[in-house]
Structures are given as C-alpha cells and as structure tokens.
Structure 1
Amino acid sequence: MEREIRVSESVISRADIRGTASGVMFMAFFGTVWADVGIGGLQGLGSIWLLILAIFIGATLFFSGIALIRSSRNLDSTNTHGSKNINVNKWFNIVFATEFLLIIIAAIICNTVGHFDWFFPIMAIIVGVHFFPLAYLFQVKAYYFTGTLLCLLAIVTLLFVPLKSSLGQHQINTWWTLVGLGSMLILWITSLVILSVGRRLLRMARDQ
C-alpha cells in the first residue's frame, strides 16, 4: 500500500522525495479508512462529527504529501537506482496483491461462517504482516514498528476485549471501535514520521 523508493546515500533525486511522499499519502488515506471502521463500531454515537474530524485530519496529512511532491519539482530528476527500483516495484506489487487476496478470502470466510465481527481484527493482522516485507524492500525501519503494533492491537483485542460493550444505554462493537481507531492512530503516526523524513530529505537535496 505504501510505495516508497529507497534513497541513495550520495544523491537524493526527485523520485526519492516523491516515493516518500507517496508513503505519506497512502498512510493518510488508509488511516482515514480505518477511522471509518472505528466510527462504524460506535454504531451512531457521535459518528458524523467524528467522521468530519477524521476526514479533516486525513486530508491534512494527504495534502502534506502532495505539498512534498510539489516542493520537489525543481530537484534533479535523475534516477540512480535503475534496475533495483524495477525489482522493488515488482515485489511491492506481489506483496500488495497477496495482501488484497488474503483480505478478500478473510471477508468471505468470516461472512460464510456467520462471524463477520472477526473480519476487521483479522484484516488488521493481514495489513500488519504486510508491513514486514515492505520494511525490508524499502529499508524503512518504521514499518517494522507499524506492522508489529497493528498485529498486537488486533490480537490483544481478540483475546482480551469483549465483542460488545455499553456506554450508558448505547451498545457499541468494541472490536471494530478499538481496532479501527487504533489502526487509524498507528497509520497516521507513521504518516507523520515518513513526512518528517521526506522534509529532511528535501532539505538535504536542496543543499546538494
């Protein structure tokens, strides 16, 4: 889901900055998707205002990635990675396709056995696991933490948190709320981390 090009130790190109920016944008978008899952778990409790807030935060992060791309327009467009990028892109597509396929299979199985409440925690585990090969491919250590936190969040929720709980007279789906909002925070924080890296690379590129 996050297509980020590894940075050369000697020359930082426009492609390096744009690859980092794409990571910011992907994290922002999918963090907002997870926010919708969490808000849905609240089953109407303050949903509209929380959704507006989530969209605002997600859009702010997303457009920060776009701003990073715009700021890189005057950088050297030379790509020194060549065949390495082709190989990375190939494996990225394989990882992404595998993740998507597993999510579809999980949705079908959970729906078939009548336990769709399990779907989003299982999906969070699948998404978390997919970050490990991406961390290796793109040499982004932060992705190891992102993947670990997503997996732990889902596993702890499944093992120790009741499926349903009540807030006064209002019942919520605790699993969806915790996994959705927790995954939202994890991905948005990762987006901020990548954004800070991208801005640092941009400053370095301008000083080259």
Structure 2
Amino acid sequence: MEPAGERSPALQGVAFGVSILSFFALGWLGWGTGGHLPTGAQIALMVVAALVSVGLAAFAWRRWRTTRLPAVPDIERRLSGRAFGVIIGVEWIGLGIVSGILGGTGHTDAIAPVICAGVGLHFIPLAQLFGVRAYYVTAAVMCLLAVLTFILAPSTPALWTVLPGVGAAITLYATCIALLAWNPTRGTLTAATSSPAR
C-alpha cells in the first residue's frame, strides 16, 4: 500500500538539481584536471566521478519515487518554473557574452574563473526562489574560488583551470549532498531545483 499524498514536487526538484549539479561537477572536474594528469589517472578519476554522479542522481530519484507529501498548489510550481527559466537564461547569456569577449581579447586564461564566479552568483537568486540556504554557501565558495584563482594563478599558470575546475566540482558535489540531506517534512523548499551550472 502506497503512503498517502502525492509525489513531492520539492523532492522532484531536488532530484533534478542533484542530477544537473552532479553532471556539471563531472564537467568541472574534467576541465580542472585535463592536461594535468597522466592519461591513465585522468581516465580512472573521471570514471570514479561519473559513478559518483550517477549514484547521487539515482538516490535522489529513488527518494522522490518512494516519498509522499501533501500536494503543492499548481500555481506555485508554475511561478517557480518561470522564475527559474529567467535566472538560467540570464546566466547562460551573460556567461556566453563574457566568455566570448575574454576569448576574443586574448584573455582565455580568465574564462574558467570568470565562469566559476558567474555560476556562483546565479545560486543567490536560486536560494531566494527555492528557499535553499545551502545555495548561499555554494555561491560564496565558488566566488571565493574565482578570487583565489586570480590571486594565485599568475605565478602558477596551471591554477587557471585546476583551482576553479576542481574546486567547483567539489563544491557542486557537496551541494548535492546538502540537497539530499534536506528533510522534506521540516524544510522550506517548495519546488527546489538547481541550475545547469557550468
């Protein structure tokens, strides 16, 4: 006999968020370590990271399928969805323009930390929209990674990608764990999701 209520849209949002964040964590890890590790070590690292990403996403979706909560008004879901789309659209367009300018002016080294900062900043409105306090921490850490990269990388060129890449990957994986630790009967999440953070 299934529990009363409906499948939680908040937990569905968490499942989407964990899936997207873990996918981009994998991408950031590849960006940060590519060219800096022996081929065998790079492949092994990415395989392990891919398994971690799949495991996190699978756990999140299983939790959504097996948990029932009181219904959430459809209007609340629709409004959250529209605002989410605007935030993501602004993020992608803004980062695309800035990356193009940096690439066109010969400042390609700065692309990774700038994108890291941009992705971090977009978590602030998402935190306000979905009531996910962990996103504020994610935003702060990713912006700090960008600042540290600009401070440290000029003397150690590898850090232009290693620091924001590996740092962002760890941060996004930690955010996934924070989302999975959320208690749907006590938290304030309404239709929580996360963005396709780059």
| TM value normalised by structure 2 | 0.81
Residue 121, structure 1, aligned to residue 104, structure 2: no
Q: Report what 1:28 is aligned to.
A: 22
Shift in alpha-carbon separation, 1:73–1:174, aligned structure 2, 3 A: closer
Q: Report what 2:139 is aligned to.
A: 147
% identity of equivalent residues: 26
Q: What's the Cα RMSD here?
A: 2.4
Q: Retained in 2: the 8 A contact 1:61–1:191?
A: no
Shift in alpha-carbon separation, 1:95–1:117, aligned structure 2, 3 A: same
Could you tell me how far apart the structure 2 residues matched to 1:157 and 1:45 are?
19
Could you tell me how far apart the structure 1 residues matched to 2:47 and 2:146 are?
23
Could you tell me how far apart the structure 2 residues matched to 1:135 and 1:91 are?
12
**Count of equivalent residues:** 182
Residue 103, structure 1, aligned to residue 92, structure 2: no
The runs of 5 or more residues in structure 2 that have no matched partner are 186-198
Could you tell me how far apart the structure 1 residues matched to 2:135 and 2:55 are?
21
Q: Report what 2:129 is aligned to.
A: 137
Cα-to-partner distance string for 1:135-183 (whole Å, 9 max, x where unaligned): 011100000000011001101211x213363xxxxxx622111110111
Residue 16, structure 1, aligned to residue 15, structure 2: no
Shift in alpha-carbon separation, 1:48–1:138, aligned structure 2, 3 A: farther
Code of the aligned partner of 2:96: I
Deviation at 1:45, TM superposition (A): 2.7
Residue 201, structure 1, aligned to residue 184, structure 2: yes
Q: Report what 1:53 is aligned to.
A: 45
Q: Retained in 1: the 8 A contact 2:8–2:64?
A: yes
Structure with bigger RCO (C-alpha 8 Å, 6+ apart): 2
Could you tell me how far apart the structure 1 residues matched to 2:167 and 2:39 are?
16
The runs of 5 or more residues in structure 1 that have no matched partner are 1-10, 166-171, 203-208
| TM value normalised by structure 1 | 0.78
Deviation at 1:76, TM superposition (A): 4.3
Could you tell me how far apart the structure 2 residues matched to 1:47 and 1:132 are?
37
Could you tell me how far apart the structure 1 residues matched to 2:120 and 2:166 are?
15
Structure 1 residue runs of 4 or more that deviate by more than 4 Å after TM superposition:
74-78
Q: Retained in 1: the 8 A contact 2:28–2:168?
A: yes
